[in-house]
Structure 1
Amino acid sequence: MSVADRSPAYPTRSLMPPARRLGPLSVGLVAVAFAVVWVVAGPPDGRWLSFAGQLAGAEAVLLMAIAMVLISLLPAVEVWFDGIDRAAIWHRRLSVTGLALLAPHVLFSSGEDGGGIGGLLAQVGVWGLLALAAWAIAPRWRTMLPWIGPHLARAADRVAAHPAMRRVLAAGRWIFGGYERWRALHRLTGLFLAAAFVHGLLDGTMFGSPVLRWTYLVAGGTGLAFYVYRETVARHLTALHDYQVAKVTPVGANLTEISLAPVGRPITFTPGQFAMLFLETGAGWRRHPFTISSAPRDRFLRFTIKALGDDTTRMQTLVRPGMPAVVGGPHGRFDRARGTDRQIWIAGGIGITPFLSWLRALDRHAAPGTVDLFYSTQGVPPFAGEITAIAEAHPTVRVHLHDTSAHGYLTPDAVLATLDEDPRRLSVFLCGPKAMVDGFVRRFRQAGVRSRDIHREHFDWR
């Protein structure tokens, strides 16, 4: 085998950093340490109720500042949180938590500049952040607010079904819909955070203490510095690769596979990673993050896309061969090399995408040991013929195709029943709908699979 044919080196499992928990744990420690410092310093004037409100506001600024760090596109952040997808999820969680802390801040704090420029900035910051949060939550409120209750969910469905409300919702989708429009306005988050931060400085009732002032300055200033970096510098440092659309292939009822030919140096990636895809379509440039479904040495770079949103449902009509494309990245740490020699791969629907990349790369990146792939779909699985042929050429890979329309949902117990090994020897890789993956994670943990050996791709954040 020549040097050019050698597979790129994969990191060994023992060398992978335990960042899956390190990132959230470090954020929690920073938030607690910040609160402890403030409580120890105490209010200079002894007004503890007002101080509690000020502390809530300062913690809100701190959490939203950390959220800015998590979407700064720095490679260190991806390592810190074990993937940019996990960092994006925690960005959302910290932002929502920060907004929730604004409630006690408004209720208990009493500023001296409430009617001046500080009060105006407070209104701009709070209402701007709340509007952006509502816009982000609205399309996925059922999954982000699972505690809302089935009765309210049914009531919301009845309201949405009313003809007048349907017209209102249609107008709302026209005004606010679309990934690009959402992304453009979401970038205002940093400006609203800046308004809230300056409000705190101007209305700093508790800032008779240098400790309180400087911790607040460092927290808010760091977040704003990362926001400025992302908006002015990061975009120029992102690796971009020029491509051209070679083929647009319908796959089943609602899947499209786009094949791109490189124009210049192609992207270098590890099977299982995702990239930001920029496409110049008949409706202008569009950008979305998609998992790469081809192998690294394939002639074409392939993305398998499910029709879910406005752009993806029109992919087959908007995208044509010959159109230019730009690919940024790669990102993600969903890597089978991080597992043990005995692996279980579980894919639900479009969740087969990273496993397609793994399967298509087996000729150059052999499986580390025995692998069982469980692929669950409704009806005939897309790519079933190709997947079966690859498995036949690689005896260490066994494929289990599961049709939910004939056999019901694939369950963790059904998977475990096919295995003879001790669950503590297994590594499990999952990609699919959140509810499905959550159920599998809980059951595998109960069966004895170690949490460090359960890996999931968080594609639902995109």
Structure 2
Amino acid sequence: MKPVKLSFWGIAIVLTGLCLAAEPPFSVPYEFLVLRALLINYSGIIAIGMMSVAMILAVRPVFFEPFLGGLDKMYRLHKWLGIGALLMASTHWLLTQAPQWLVGLGLMARPARHGAPAPGEGVQQFFQSQRGLAEGIGEWAFYATALLIVLALLKRFPYRHFFKTHRLLAVAYLFLVFHSVVLMKFSYWREAVGPVLAGLLMAGSAAALGILCSRVGQSRRAVAVIDEISRHQDIHVLEVAILLKGRWRGHQAGQFAFVTFDAQEGPHPFTITSVWNGDGRLRFAIKALGDYTQTLPATLKVGDPVKVEGPYGQFNFIGNKPRQIWIAGGIGITPFVARMKKLARQPDGKIVDLFYSTARADDEIISRLRRDAQAAKVTLHVLKGGDTPLTVERITRVVPKWQSSDIWFCGPSGFGHDLRRDFRARRLPAEDFHQELFELR
């Protein structure tokens, strides 16, 4: 998560520095209305800047994946930037409303009305003529943005509705771009903050238009049909094999794809459990974790059309340690299945221990795991529901040379958080703990 934190704070610090360079606080009189105007400009720039980067990340630009650690981390940054933009936009709105509230409460004398600003020329004159419109549009776009972000953060808000409503943020964003361009202090356009913000607004607007035109991931899409379905009812897992009918660029073990079984529901991310053989076949293991995935066993059938977008992810098992420890919780076993199939064909010489913790065990799946592990020369440790919980103490006892290993974890986020914390307490370098994030909202 370190690259995500560095990126978030780096964006905030750079934009703050540009604002301070454009209008240093010590260069203005220390009066309430003057400082308020300064803070309105600052909060507005930070809010629209963060929202612009979040909009760019929403179109899934894969060239950011290596730096951020995968699309799952990219979406975490997207989420943080959305929250940061909402907080700064709320501050911006409160600052604009504060004087009239204070006057209404009798805590502040009504500010003297100043004459109209001196007429500008060309673009500046046009901006001045549009201020009233921009203020009204900005206020209503803020209300819409706040509502849509809050809905996106509510996990109980159904994904099928989230998929549709979240796209409306692109519309609100375009209105906020107009608001920002017109109302930003005109002298700022001649400072460094001007061209930087202009670049962000143009890139963000292009991304917003791409979202509205359904162009996200267009170059990475393929159509397919369901070729095979296997149900494991005891553990609520559905295996689906699909046959691609379009071009696929191939994938690495550990990567995932967005799969659309139902256009009304939209795409969902699922890890690819098969290795790429060039034969057009992909396999997914889907756990019934929510309303939508619980319905799939009853609704999917062989021959149904499917849309696939990908591959994505940096859960690639690349490390410089001679050993690796893999830890899987529940359906988090899927990337390790693909990796074992790959190692069976192309060994990499690393010593690997795989710990698989599952509340419910399926004999057929466990038997297949053992065969895959044997073929890949991976040492498999299975912990079933009634066993002692998997802890760092247990792992380090089973693997005495754990310090010469890097850790690869995929499973429930709380489980991963505890393991990361306890490994860090034993001085495992942060960069040696690799975690796939289940949550993309």
TMscore range, shorter length: 0.7 to 0.9
* 1:82 matches 2:69: yes
3-state SS of paired residue (1:337): coil
Out of 408, 421, 424, the position equivalent to 2:401 is: 421
Structure 2: runs of 5 or more not aligned = 100-115, 117-127
RMSD across aligned positions (CA): 2.8
- C-alpha separation between the residues in 2 aligned to 1:284 and 1:221? 30
The residue aligned with 1:97 is: 84
| Runs of 4+ residues deviating >6 angstroms | 110-115
Give the paired residue count.
Answer: 401
* Cα deviation, residue 365, structure 1: 2.7
* 1:397 matches 2:413: no
* Cα deviation, residue 242, structure 1: 3.0
The residue aligned with 1:331 is: 312
* 1:223 matches 2:204: yes
- C-alpha separation between the residues in 1 aligned to 2:28 and 2:175? 26
Alignment-mate amino acid for residue 116 of structure 1: G
3-state SS of paired residue (2:227): strand
Out of 274, 278, 284, the position equivalent to 2:260 is: 278
8 Å CA contact retained: 2:223, 2:244 = yes
- C-alpha separation between the residues in 2 aligned to 1:213 and 1:139? 37
The residue aligned with 2:49 is: 62
Distance 1:313 1:108, change over 3 A: same
Moved more, 92-101 or 191-200: 191-200
Q: After the TM superposition, which residues 257-336 of structure 1 pair with which residues of structure 2 at under 5 Å, given as runs?
A: 257-263=239-245, 265=247, 268-279=250-261, 286-297=266-277, 300-336=281-317
The residue aligned with 2:337 is: 356
8 Å CA contact retained: 2:254, 2:316 = yes
* Cα deviation, residue 433, structure 1: 0.7
* 1:386 matches 2:402: no
Structure 1: runs of 5 or more not aligned = 1-19, 141-172
Alignment-mate amino acid for residue 358 of structure 2: T
Residues 158-210 of structure 1, C-alpha deviations (whole Å, 9 max, x = no match): xxxxxxxxxxxxxxx6xxx342x322221121221222232233333x33443
The residue aligned with 1:199 is: 179
Residues 239-294 of structure 1, C-alpha deviations (whole Å, 9 max, x = no match): 233322122211233111111123355551101100111225xx867521110011
TM-score with structure 1 length normalisation? 0.79
* Cα deviation, residue 313, structure 1: 0.7
- C-alpha separation between the residues in 1 aligned to 2:67 and 2:273? 25
8 Å CA contact retained: 2:4, 2:77 = no
8 Å CA contact retained: 2:69, 2:314 = yes
Distance 1:414 1:95, change over 3 A: same
8 Å CA contact retained: 1:238, 1:329 = no
Distance 1:390 1:80, change over 3 A: closer
- C-alpha separation between the residues in 1 aligned to 2:194 and 2:343? 57
Alignment-mate amino acid for residue 136 of structure 2: L
Larger Rg: 2
Alignment-mate amino acid for residue 322 of structure 1: G
* Cα deviation, residue 373, structure 1: 0.6
* Cα deviation, residue 358, structure 1: 1.2
The residue aligned with 1:243 is: 224
Distance 1:298 1:183, change over 3 A: same
Distance 1:45 1:218, change over 3 A: farther
8 Å CA contact retained: 1:426, 1:449 = no
- C-alpha separation between the residues in 2 aligned to 1:258 and 1:295? 14
Alignment-mate amino acid for residue 409 of structure 1: P
- C-alpha separation between the residues in 2 aligned to 1:374 and 1:133? 38
Out of 51, 60, 82, the position equivalent to 1:73 is: 60
- C-alpha separation between the residues in 1 aligned to 2:375 and 2:196? 60
* Cα deviation, residue 216, structure 1: 4.0
* Cα deviation, residue 234, structure 1: 4.1
* Cα deviation, residue 327, structure 1: 1.8
Distance 1:279 1:386, change over 3 A: same
- C-alpha separation between the residues in 2 aligned to 1:271 and 1:341? 19
The residue aligned with 1:372 is: 353
The residue aligned with 1:117 is: 133
Alignment-mate amino acid for residue 294 of structure 1: S
Identity of aligned residues (%): 25
- C-alpha separation between the residues in 1 aligned to 2:350 and 2:410? 20
3-state SS of paired residue (2:343): coil
Distance 1:376 1:339, change over 3 A: farther
Residues 54-86 of structure 1, C-alpha deviations (whole Å, 9 max, x = no match): 201210110111111212232212233221111
The residue aligned with 2:389 is: 409
